[in-house]
């Protein structure tokens, strides 16, 4: 029976990396029935909402979506599509594996980085509760609840146990925000007590950022509230080659959206040079979610082999290969 999956190509380079990923998944032979849903800045502006009803209805119906990047205006315009879809579908857990890729030249290429970042996805400063108190004075409200904090902590610890992860580091700023971050960290401690086999420690977010740059190989699993999670997950991506190579998953109790976390890169759209690694890797997480573990392993190994091959890296990774050349290399390694 085919898996029904919503495909949201996005805009900019989104359709290019989405088509490459769909092609590679087709090579694996996994039965998938795609429901393609168009979403772009132009469509959003016309609809007047960040998440038009036809997109929401499709994801709610299929329960699973693979999403490319969608352009988000800065300091104005419509609200972030990513934030909207996470809130509307209650995708409370952002999961970001970050690991070293063979053959990719980075400042940390000789360090074995292998961590998973869990970010609470629904509240904190991303609740969007802000207003202008008086002219030129703006107030934003940071919302932390026991419900959301316990939910993300339970998810991170359950994942770690299932996947034989050994250590979880909770990241906070409870020395300053004693009530909000204090509540988050107390919830993490409460859940940690139920998993004595998993080592648990805590780091203040500024120290955690420094330690990530100095000793990234010492981290296993990180557990963070929304804002710190957003920043730290991008920092961690920079250790292994950037947002173009790391996967992302947004998990809820009823729906899951797997996405490339990089931008839409309109400056290179249509040139055939976009790097599809992030969305392909996100589809690996999707396959595991669907119970297609063997196919997920095959795709993971094929991507690793393409990087090890070295001559099919795209421009953003220091190479000169096209999207087509990288995609063909991954397909060859799958078939091999």
Q: What is the mean pLDDT of residues 272-300?
A: 97
Give the pLDDT of residue 16: 97
Can you give the residue ranges of every domain in the chain? 1-91+252-336, 95-245
What share of the chain in percent tops pLDDT 90?
Answer: 85
- Inter-residue contact 66 to 21 (CB < 8 Å): yes
Task: Band the pLDDT of 305: cuts 50, 70, 90.
Answer: very high
Catalytic residue selected from 11, 87, 126, 181: 126
* Residue 220 is among the residues annotated as catalytic for this protein: no
Dist. CA 65–CA 286, nearest whole Å: 8
Six-digit token string for 150: 């316990």
Catalytic residue selected from 67, 87, 173, 331: 173
Give the pLDDT of residue 334: 97
Q: What is the mean pLDDT of residues 33-48?
A: 89
Give the pLDDT of residue 82: 82
Long-range pairs of 84-87 with CB within 8 A, sequence gap ≥ 24: 84/49, 84/50, 84/51, 85/51, 85/55, 85/56, 85/59, 85/250, 85/257, 86/121, 86/122, 86/250, 86/257, 87/122
Q: What is the DSSP letter of 80?
A: P
Instruction: Give the list of residues 6+ apart from residue 313 with CB closer than 8 angstroms, or none.
Output: 103, 104, 307, 319, 321, 326
Give the pLDDT of residue 126: 85
Catalytic residue selected from 161, 166, 206, 311: 206
Give the pLDDT of residue 77: 55
What separation in angstroms does the CA of 134 have from each of 114, 137, 317?
Answer: 47, 5, 47
Q: Is the pLDDT of residue 43 over 90?
A: no
Give the pLDDT of residue 239: 96
DSSP letter string, 248-268: EEEE-SS-EEEEE-S---TTT
Task: Band the pLDDT of 227: cuts 50, 70, 90.
Answer: very high
Pairing assessment for the beta strands 93-99 and 137-140 based on DSSP bridges: unpaired
Q: Do domains 1-91+252-336 and 95-245 have the same CATH topology?
A: yes
Q: Is the pLDDT of residue 94 over 80?
A: yes
Give the pLDDT of residue 79: 67
Dist. CA 285–CA 97, nearest whole Å: 9
CATH class of this structure's domain 95-245: alpha beta
Dist. CA 237–CA 277, nearest whole Å: 13
Give the pLDDT of residue 73: 60
Give the pLDDT of residue 128: 80
pLDDT (tens digit per residue) in 52-93? 899 999 999 999 999 999 887 654 555 678 888 998 999 999
Dist. CA 154–CA 149, nearest whole Å: 9
Its sign, for the CA torsion 137, 145, 223, 290, is negative
Residue with the bigger pLDDT between 4 and 107: it is 4
What share of the chain in percent tops pLDDT 70?
Answer: 98
Instruction: Give the list of residues 6+ apart from residue 250 with CB closer than 8 angstroms, or none.
Output: 85, 86, 91, 93, 94, 95, 121, 256, 257, 258, 259
* Residue 87 is among the residues annotated as catalytic for this protein: no
Q: b or e along 27-63 (b: 16 or more beta carbons within 10 Å of the residue's beta carbon)?
A: bbebebebeebebbbeebeeeeebbbeebbebbeebb
Backbone angles phi, psi at 171, to 5 degrees: -115, 135
Six-digit token string for 229: 């999670």
* Residue 228 is among the residues annotated as catalytic for this protein: no
Catalytic residue selected from 11, 230, 316, 331: 230
Dist. CA 147–CA 140, nearest whole Å: 21
Q: Is the pLDDT of residue 142 over 60?
A: yes
Which candidate, 260, 301, 253, places its Cα nearest to that of 280? 260
The superfamily (CATH) of domain 1-91+252-336 is: Isopropylmalate Dehydrogenase (3.40.718.10)
Dist. CA 80–CA 50, nearest whole Å: 7
Give the pLDDT of residue 76: 52
Q: Is the pLDDT of residue 27 over 80?
A: yes
Total residues belonging to the chain? 336
Rounded to the nearest integer, the mean pLDDT of the chain is 94
Which candidate, 253, 252, 254, 249, places its Cα nearest to that of 60? 254
Give the pLDDT of residue 264: 92
Q: What is the mean pLDDT of residues 248-252?
A: 97
């Amino acid at each position: 029976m085919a898996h029904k999956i919503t495909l949201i190509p996005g805009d900019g380079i989104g359709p290019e990396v989405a088509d490459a990923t769909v092609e590679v998944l087709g090579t694996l032979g996994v039965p998938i029935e795609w429901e393609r849903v168009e979403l772009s800045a132009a469509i959003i502006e016309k609809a007047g909402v960040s998440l038009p009803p036809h997109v929401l209805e499709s994801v709610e119906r299929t329960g699973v979506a693979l999403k490319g990047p969608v352009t988000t205006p800065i300091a104005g315009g419509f609200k972030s599509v990513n934030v909207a879809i996470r809130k509307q579908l209650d995708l409370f857990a952002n999961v970001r594996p970050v690991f070293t890729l063979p053959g990719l030249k980075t400042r940390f290429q000789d360090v074995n980085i292998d961590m998973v970042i869990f970010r609470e996805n629904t509240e904190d400063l991303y609740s969007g509760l802000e207003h202008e108190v008086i002219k030129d004075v703006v107030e934003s409200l940071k919302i932390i609840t026991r419900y959301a904090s316990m939910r993300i902590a339970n998810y991170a610890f359950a994942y770690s146990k299932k996947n034989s992860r050994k250590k979880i580091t909770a990241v906070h700023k409870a020395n300053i925000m004693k009530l909000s971050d204090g509540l988050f960290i107390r919830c993490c401690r409460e859940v940690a007590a139920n998993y004595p086999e998993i080592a648990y420690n805590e780091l203040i977010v500024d120290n955690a950022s420094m330690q990530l740059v100095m000793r990234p190989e010492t981290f296993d699993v990180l557990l963070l509230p929304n804002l710190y999670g957003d920043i730290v997950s991008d920092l961690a991506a920079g250790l292994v080659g950037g947002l173009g190579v790391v996967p992302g998953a947004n998990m809820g109790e009823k729906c899951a959206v797997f996405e490339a976390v990089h931008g839409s890169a309109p400056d290179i759209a249509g040139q055939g040079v976009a790097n599809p690694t992030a969305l392909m890797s996100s589809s690996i997480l999707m396959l595991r979610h669907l119970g297609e573990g063997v196919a997920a392993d095959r795709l993971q190994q094929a991507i690793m082999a393409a990087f090890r091959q070295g001559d099919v890296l795209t421009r953003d990774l220091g190479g000169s290969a096209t999207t087509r050349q990288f995609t063909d290399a991954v397909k060859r390694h799958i078939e091999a």
